Amino acid sequence: MKIAKIQSLLYFWTIFVSLGVLLICFLSDEGIMNSIIACIYIMLGLINIISIYKRTGMLFNPLSIFSMVWLILIPITSFQMPILPQMTIFQWEIISIANIFFCLGGLLISIRFMGRSDKGPNNGKIFELSRIQFIFLLSTLIICVAIYLIQAVIAGGFPAMADNPDMARRTFYLPNMASLSNLGMMPIYIIFKDRKNRKNKLYLMFAAIYFIELYMMAVRFGVMMLVIMIASLFSSKSINVKQLKYILLVTVIFFFIFVVIANVRGGNINNISYFTGIGAYSGSDFLLRNTEILRYIGYSQRLMENYFTILKPGSNQWGYTLSPILEMLDQPFEKVQHLTIWGYTATNIISYLFLDFGKMWPLVYGCWSGILHIIYYTSIKSNSIIRSYLWTICFIGLVLSFYAYVHSYIVWLTLFLLYALFVNFLGKISISRERKGNKNEYLYN
């Protein structure tokens, strides 16, 4: 595979640079080197993304996403900002170690797939849903739209319409309806994979209504997850300049939505009042409110240091990693108390691996990278809904690795996965009926 060869070369280069940065961390004190390290990683990330795009036209492969998050986004938010201190040398040491092991896992698997053909088992066959699959998916989407509307009527409106949206969304859902309401993401995602059916007017109308409903929930996570799921479908496709402009436009719109929600969400407004009240911040409320997205990302890495220095390695005993299984068994998966900085509780994948596996976390991180790359290489030339969705789960995990881990995606790993399996089963039934019909026609003739 051409993409495997290019990624292997760039992974080797990234490991070499990360080792150099790690050496700098060991030999340096706090100061100007913190900013220099950030600039080194930003340049490295840009080189990786541009190199892959120029040679393959691909933008959403594992190395590009890793570079966007850990070599560009994290360094950009590493500088000092309102109530956000600069990242420390210790934090850069941990991230550099993580970068080395992630790239090592990607390098080994990429080398393994270098000799594979670029032609997949489908030989360029376009993915197409059967009639029964499309009807089932569209019906699910309509039902989920209706469930949101019914709940809105009962609650007296969507949370975004309330005086305190943050409080309103906590009491919006009817019992056991939260997961079912969010299931509407799956038909939008699967139908979008089908070039023909994604142009269906009924689908487009209900998909737009559902997206608006997610926005009216004043919850960034739902909107963000749906956008990321659809973006994962472009991982195997070459993106031309025109499409790249559309992607940049969607990215700008997405961040605009994030900012708008931050301005109407009660919790964020209350936090700003709190910071001003205790004297932690004396600047503009507007500036603090609209830079929340930077703190949302930045504090995940700052909080990581607290987990490494305060809590015992492996103290959660695999709880987060096994959370989907423990959740189904109605067993608690959090054995340690969440740490916070100014009310921010989210932390990155590195912290969760440290809590689950202790000092073995770099090795586990490298293994996860290897599994992720295996799923990627086996899915990019396949039309299988299951393979596609498994890569989407990995894609979500990589994109959001700066502030979340497996326990944040329990519904995606249980209910949504079962839904994908059922849709795939419906496809097999359709194929079986078609083959049987062709056989009967052949015998008749």
Is 118 a residue whose pLDDT tops 70?
Answer: no
Prediction pTM value: 0.89
Give the pLDDT of residue 412. 93
Confidence of residue 251 (pLDDT cuts 50, 70, 90): confident
Determine what percent of the chain is predicted with pLDDT higher than 90.
55
Give the pLDDT of residue 215. 84
Give the pLDDT of residue 287. 74
What is the DSSP code (8-state) at residue 188?
Answer: H
> pLDDT tens across 306-322, in order?
999 999 999 999 999 99
Q: Residue 117: left if φ>0, alpha if ψ -120 to 50, beta else—which one?
A: beta
Alpha carbon distance 65, 87 (integer Å): 22
Alpha carbon distance 332, 327 (integer Å): 7
**Cβ-count burial of 418 within 10 angstroms (0-12 exposed, 13-18 middle, 19+ buried)?**
exposed
Query: Which residue, among 315, 393, 394, 389, has the nearest Cα to 351 in the 3D structure?
Result: 315
> pLDDT tens across 77-89, in order?
999 887 888 999 9
Alpha carbon distance 257, 370 (integer Å): 34
Among 20-24, 237-241, 334-338, 440-444, top mean pLDDT goes to 20-24
Q: How many CB atoms are closer than 10 A to CB 437?
A: 10
> pLDDT tens across 412-444, in order?
999 999 999 999 999 888 877 766 655 555 445
Q: Are 386 and 193 within 8 A, CB to CB?
A: no
Alpha carbon distance 383, 378 (integer Å): 10
Give the pLDDT of residue 434. 65
Q: Are 203 and 138 within 8 A, CB to CB?
A: yes
Give the pLDDT of residue 253. 77
Among 36-45, 118-127, 324-333, 335-344, top mean pLDDT goes to 36-45
Mean pLDDT of the chain: 87
